[in-house]
Chains A and B, each alone.
Chain A
Amino acid sequence: MRRKSALVMTAVMVAATASACGGGSSDSKTIKVAYQKFGNFIGADELFKKIKPVFEQQNPGLKLKLIPIEADENSYYTKLNLMRRSPKTAPDVAYEDTFFVNSDAEARFLRPLDDDLKSWPDWSQFVDAAKAAGQAADGHTYGIPMGTDTRGLWYNKQIFAKAGLPQNWQPKTWNDVLAAARQIKSKVPGVIPLNVYAGKGVGEASSMQGFEMLLYGTGDKLYDDQTKKWVAPSRGMGAAFDFLKTVYSSGLGPTQQQALDPHWSDNVAGQELPKGKLAIALDGSWLPQAWIPGGANAWPQWSSVLGTAAMPTQNGQAPGKVSLSGGWLLSVGARTKNPSAAWKLVQLAMNKENSLFFYVKATQVSVRKDVVADPKYLEGNPTQRFWTDLVSVTQYRPAYNVYPQISNQLQAASEAVVTGQSSPRSAMNDFAGQVKQIAGPDKVEARS
């Protein structure tokens, strides 16, 4: 008898399970939006919570279902793409990294928006660089940019004063940057003069805030959009590796232990800068997110202690400064049952008022001209104007699906240089060989 009761119990549980299913059904009356919500990054969540009642009121009969995915970027992306694989669970609208536009278009996850954009007056307010970020290699636009981030130099004015350097600093060339670092090294012992990310520990920060900020200031690039080939080796690449070698081998940078630590980028924002142990940091526009009241490392004095300067090009060649950008798009899923409602949601979420709301909540740099003119946008963050101005020169990474692998090799190459395992030249040649293996030999060209 007991055996039977155990079996019955199991059967009941299985049956209960089967009937207790939820959520999955997908119809044209419910618009599902999936987005990332991660730690203090709750801007998207707040945005969609704000517009849910508005959307439902403007579109009677339609429901907006929010699907916040609480995880780091890799996990978010894994879950999002699993959901997209199945028509039943594919969201109608999703929060999409600009970086994935090409590969997700290729995977047929995204719906082209070209026709819709023609009749959207707001589109003319978006800056060209950001428009291009939503465009895939096939020429179609797959998403509306939700703002961006830019990169440049943060410097500690108190350390600069001790070193006899100007409070209002703007280097014109790489040599100016190195000269300032040398002066700090000799005048202010005990601080790290200059941090430029390198090595595998900090991951993409090493490629994007580090190496690429150098490379893109030499006139060379990682990928040539005209020839559609990866560029390695190149003269600019050699110069960038030389710069890293100079910083790390002459004691101008952090120690190898610090630079290769997987938590180094976190420590820079959380400790080194706030505690005045780092003089110049080549880093991102988003750092104040940690320092504002309620941030992970509240530091009320940050705006008076730190100054900002654009990263100069190698020898001051035009346009004189360099920046790289990432950022997010709002995209419509290829499998949506109600494309017009999905597009309405995107329009609503990315209109002037809501864009501004999101930029402020998520410490994003504006890509809408009308928002930049709004005083509310610059309120509360004295450096916002500076980071926004960099949008005029900023560039995006090559958004191809082999990029993560190539970036990984770039990190390995810079690690070999800063640890002295390889000379800049041989690291560059090793890297070029790896790129040929990853992308195919016919997809790579050398430039000298």
Chain B
Amino acid sequence: MVAVGLPERTVTRRPPARRGRRAAGRVLPLVPAFGLLALFFVGPILWCVYASFTDISLTGAGASSPHLVGLRNYRQMFSDPAFAKSLWLTVVFVIGSAVIGQNVGGLALALLMNGRHRIVRAVVGGIVVGAWVLPELVAGFMWYAFLSDHGTFNAILRAVGLHGGSWLYSSPLAAVTIANVWRGTAFSMLVYSAALSNVPDELLEAASVDGASGWARLRHVTLPLIRRAMLTNLMTITLQTLAVFTLIFVMTGGGPGTKSQTLPIFMYQEAFKFYHLGYGAALAIVLLAVGAVFSLVYLRAMRKEV
């Protein structure tokens, strides 16, 4: 138990198993999980695809006798400037709050906390995690109150001699982005903390003795070792951020106008306020495609790395 190999090169040999039983033995552990997923998701997902080609609705004629409408929902979507804007806002929101904010922030926090005193880790970690575990609804109200005209943020600004502002009105997308960074960074921090605890100290020591600066150690030793964690983290927070609804809904309602109307808000309006479930389903599928595109980009980038 001396050699601790690098993860990349580890999977060379396989566990022993006799040929006949091997295939079954490998598939069997997958059965409960995949069975459960098949039970609950195969039907609903197919339904969602089907519904996106119908005019099904929660009330009205579309509730009792929906019709196939071909590509109408998709055509309507792509000819609607509000949708294009919403798609753009969603991409900016994901890049700003997940890819940059939570991901980089979480890594920085994990690095800062790595090896610090246990009490400091517990206190700082506790506060950051507190932001994460707060119900989204409450987080929304807190941030609304924090950024409002008579809120804490303006009070702090005035205390240091700066001018306050109506942040939710003047820069709504930035406001919800920062709020989402605040809310989600804990998860990235946890993922990176776990990953960093797997980075052997000897390697960093060795690099340090060789005269590598902190940045160089991070770039050439730590990052390559936590590549997988980074991929996991990016995929997870991207999918999570794509679905953020309540936070934005409470803070700005998607406004003013449509300035912070991301796809989930747009979808909510169509499905719950206008009752167009079919159109909502089509939007859901587009949301899914956006997630897939992000994930493919990550997979590509991570493969090239190192």
Q: Is B213 an interface residue (CB 8 A)?
A: no
Binary interface encoding of chain A residues 382-414 relative to chain B, with 1 for a CB under 8 A from any of its CBs, else 0: 000000000000000000010011001000100
Q: Is B273 an interface residue (CB 8 A)?
A: yes
Smallest CB separation, B136 vs chain A (Å): 15
Q: Is A347 an interface residue (CB 8 A)?
A: no
Q: Is A111 an interface residue (CB 8 A)?
A: no
Residue of chain A at shortest CB distance from B272: A74
Given known pairs A81-B63, A107-B61, the reply for A263 and B144 (CB within 8 Å) is: yes
Cβ contact of B256, chosen from A3, A78, A100, A201, cutoff 8 A: A201
Q: Are B59 and A260 interface neighbours, CB within 8 A?
A: no
Smallest CB separation, A273 vs chain B (Å): 17
Q: Is A128 an interface residue (CB 8 A)?
A: no
Q: Is B58 an interface residue (CB 8 A)?
A: yes
Residue of chain B at shortest CB distance from A421: B257
Q: Is B151 an interface residue (CB 8 A)?
A: no
Smallest CB separation, A312 vs chain B (Å): 30
Q: Residues of B contacting A109 with CB < 8 Å? A: 59, 63
Q: Are A10 and B273 interface neighbours, CB within 8 A?
A: no
Cα of A65 to Cα of B250 in the assembled complex, Å: 34
Q: Is B211 an interface residue (CB 8 A)?
A: no
Residue of chain B at shortest CB distance from A10: B32
Given known pairs A74-B272, A256-B169, A401-B275, the reply for A103 and B253 (CB within 8 Å) is: no
Q: Residues of A contacting B144 with CB < 8 Å? A: 263
Cα of A405 to Cα of B273 in the assembled complex, Å: 8
Cβ contact of B149, chosen from A10, A106, A107, A257, cutoff 8 A: A257
Cβ contact of B168, chosen from A78, A261, A412, cutoff 8 A: A261
Smallest CB separation, B99 vs chain A (Å): 27
Q: Is A203 an interface residue (CB 8 A)?
A: yes
Q: Which chain B residues in 1-59 approach chain A with CB under 8 Å?
A: 28-29, 31-32, 57-59
Residue of chain A at shortest CB distance from B270: A405
Q: Are B60 and A401 interface neighbours, CB within 8 A?
A: yes
Q: Is A6 an interface residue (CB 8 A)?
A: yes
Q: Is A77 an interface residue (CB 8 A)?
A: yes
Q: Are A257 and B166 interface neighbours, CB within 8 A?
A: yes
Given known pairs A78-B58, A81-B59, A81-B63, the reply for A3 and B252 (CB within 8 Å) is: no
Chief secondary structure at chain A's binding surface: helix
Interface residue total, chain A, C-beta cutoff 8 A: 34
Binary interface encoding of chain A residues 235-274 relative to chain B, with 1 for a CB under 8 A from any of its CBs, else 0: 0000000000000000000001100111100000000000
Given known pairs A103-B60, A201-B255, the reply for A404 and B169 (CB within 8 Å) is: no
Q: Is B64 an interface residue (CB 8 A)?
A: yes
Q: Is A415 an interface residue (CB 8 A)?
A: yes
Q: Which chain A residues in 54-68 approach chain B with CB under 8 Å?
A: none
Q: Which chain B residues in 230-266 approach chain A with CB under 8 Å?
A: 250-257
Q: Residues of B contacting A77 with CB < 8 Å? A: 58-59
Q: Is B269 an interface residue (CB 8 A)?
A: yes
Q: Is A108 an interface residue (CB 8 A)?
A: yes
Q: Is B78 an interface residue (CB 8 A)?
A: no
Cα of A415 to Cα of B256 in the assembled complex, Å: 9
Q: Residues of A contacting B253 with CB < 8 Å? A: 200-201, 203, 262
Q: Are B60 and A260 interface neighbours, CB within 8 A?
A: no
Smallest CB separation, A300 vs chain B (Å): 24
Q: Is A7 an interface residue (CB 8 A)?
A: yes
Cα of A175 to Cα of B253 in the assembled complex, Å: 33
Q: Are A3 and B60 interface neighbours, CB within 8 A?
A: no
Residue of chain B at shortest CB distance from A104: B59
Q: Are B64 and A3 interface neighbours, CB within 8 A?
A: no
Given known pairs A74-B273, A260-B255, the reply for A7 and B32 (CB within 8 Å) is: yes
Cα of A262 to Cα of B169 in the assembled complex, Å: 10
Q: Is B274 an interface residue (CB 8 A)?
A: yes
Residue of B148, B256, B269 with most chain A CB atoms under a 10 A cut-off: B256
Binary interface encoding of chain B residues 62-95 relative to chain A, with 1 for a CB under 8 A from any of its CBs, else 0: 1110000000000000000000000000000000
Cβ contact of A261, chosen from B32, B62, B169, cutoff 8 A: B169
13 CB < 8 A contacts A-B: A3-B29, A10-B32, A103-B60, A104-B59, A107-B63, A200-B253, A201-B253, A256-B256, A257-B149, A260-B256, A261-B148, A401-B59, A408-B274
7 tightest A-B CB contacts, nearest first = A262-B253, A107-B63, A103-B60, A401-B60, A103-B59, A257-B166, A257-B169
If A3-B29, A81-B63, A106-B61 are given as contacts, then 18 extra A-B residue pairs at C-beta distance below 8 Å, sorted by A number, are A7-B31, A74-B272, A85-B63, A100-B59, A103-B60, A103-B63, A103-B275, A107-B64, A109-B59, A200-B253, A200-B257, A201-B256, A203-B253, A262-B255, A401-B60, A408-B273, A408-B274, A419-B256
